[in-house]
Amino acid sequence: MPTFYPGPSKVYPQVAEYAAEAVRSGIVSLNHRSAGFMDIVRQAVELLHQKLAIPADYHIAFVSSATECWEIVAQSLTGSTSLHPHSGAFGQKWMEYAHRIRPMVRPDLADTLCLVQNETSNGTQLNRETLAQFRRDFTGLIAVDAVSSMAGITLDWTLADVWFASVQKCFGLPAGLAVLVYSPDALTRAQALAENDHYNSLLFIHDNFSRFQTPYTPNGLGIYCLMRVLEQLPPIAEVDARTRSRAAEWYRFLEQEVPQLPFTLLIDEPARRSDTVIAVEGTSEAIKAVKAAANAAGITLGNGYGAWKDTTFRIANFPAISDGEIDELKAFLRQYRS
Ligand SMILES: *Cc1c(COP(=O)(O)O)cnc(C)c1O
């Protein structure tokens, strides 16, 4: 049954085989300090560098979720407080978590800028030019939540010091694992703050990962499946081109090909529209009806989220979704009458 839910989302079909492989071969029972397990961590890290074109001097660690990364940025990388310009529910939540750890006292003292590259709740994104502008204007550390875009589009890694994503969006994997990427400057900041109070303090994580180990028993199954999915992926430039052309086609389709639908795109300005999550707006009755009809036709549309919960549905444009599934949803929308 095709699902266009933007997280948890469709997993690559090959994941079933990779997971079976991990169980059959005993990988999931390997001690996480063993050479065999460390080798899988090492390969996954190398493949991330290679397939996502992450600069060689940026470090990579695995943690449990993007929410955990929000807290790691606050506890281990923020000295005074953090700024959170945002436009949606995930940016808002990040700010609330961060300010509980490093309360906002004076915005002019903030040493960390926190941005959500792709706001999954409303289908907006910060494009390269906007990120470059933040990089020019802000002299402190920049951390970017790229949960619903990493592994779906090309990211210009040098425009921020910290990037993270959980794997249940564009990576096409089951939830429970997140990729944390951090620059030499981020590590320098962590060393200057010397925050060591938590099991997931960045310095402790870094120390472990420099030996391809983890502070606690990690999600070995998730790391193995990530490694296998990365092996099968084309270079990110190819994935990016496909994601962007599919997104352009989705926006064209929704604006031009289905005038009978009682919906409009939630985001008017094309420059702000996300390439990976498309938000469609209507009355709550119309949204409810189309989700139910899609469901009856065997297709899962993404619910709205946060302030847009009842008045939007969302279409994930993630790499694991096949052309056939997209055609199926388009055919459904073409024939749909409210
Ligand atoms: C899904 C999502 C999160 C939360 O990810 P978890 O793995 O549940 O912590 C955070 N930020 C954005 C933009 C998301 O789309």
Closest CA to 198 of 214, 183, 215, 212: 215
Report pLDDT for 97: 98
DSSP per residue, 37-61: HHHHHHHHHHHHHHHHT--TTSEEE
Does any ligand 1 atom lie closer than 6 A to the CB of residue 151?
Answer: no
**Band of residue 325 on the pLDDT scale cut at 50, 70, 90:** very high
Tens digit of pLDDT for each residue in 124-152?
999 999 999 999 999 999 999 999 999 99
Structural tokens at position 55: 């600069």
Report pLDDT for 303: 97
C-alpha pair distances (Å), 257 with each of 107, 163, 250: 46, 37, 10
Report pLDDT for 305: 96
Q: Which ligand 1 atom is nearest residue 119's CA?
A: 13
User: Domain 15-232 belongs to what topology?
Assistant: Aspartate Aminotransferase; domain 2 (3.40.640)
185: how many CB neighbours lie within 10 A of its CB? Answer: 14
Tens digit of pLDDT for each residue in 225-280?
999 999 999 999 999 999 999 999 999 999 999 999 999 999 999 999 999 999 99
Report pLDDT for 299: 98
Distance CA 281, CA 148 (A): 20
188 contacts 212 by C-beta, under 8 angstroms: no
Does any ligand 1 atom lie closer than 6 A to the CB of residue 147?
Answer: yes
Q: What is the CATH number of domain 236-335?
A: 3.90.1150.10
Report pLDDT for 324: 98
User: Region 105-115: what's the mean pLDDT?
Assistant: 96
Report pLDDT for 63: 98
67 contacts 98 by C-beta, under 8 angstroms: no
User: Region 114-122: what's the mean pLDDT?
Assistant: 98
Does any ligand 1 atom lie closer than 6 A to the CB of residue 7?
Answer: yes
CA of 67 to the centre of ligand 1 (A): 6
Does any ligand 1 atom lie closer than 6 A to the CB of residue 166?
Answer: yes
Does any ligand 1 atom lie closer than 6 A to the CB of residue 144?
Answer: no
Tens digit of pLDDT for each residue in 21-31?
999 999 999 99
**Band of residue 72 on the pLDDT scale cut at 50, 70, 90:** very high
Does any ligand 1 atom lie closer than 6 A to the CB of residue 320?
Answer: no
Does any ligand 1 atom lie closer than 6 A to the CB of residue 120?
Answer: yes
pLDDT above 70 as % of the chain: 100
User: Range(s) for CATH 3.90.1150.10 in the chain?
Assistant: 236-335
Is pLDDT above 90 for 38?
A: yes
Mutate to test the pocket of ligand 1, among 72, 90, 171 (most ligand atoms within 8 A of CB): 90
Mutate to test the pocket of ligand 1, among 115, 120, 314 (most ligand atoms within 8 A of CB): 120
Mean pLDDT of the chain: 97
CA of 205 to the centre of ligand 1 (A): 21
Report pLDDT for 1: 85
Task: Check residue 262 and report its DSSP letter.
Answer: S
Does any ligand 1 atom lie closer than 6 A to the CB of residue 126?
Answer: no
**Band of residue 185 on the pLDDT scale cut at 50, 70, 90:** very high
User: Range(s) for CATH 3.40.640.10 in the chain?
Assistant: 15-232
Report pLDDT for 66: 98
Closest CA to 127 of 275, 278, 315, 235: 275
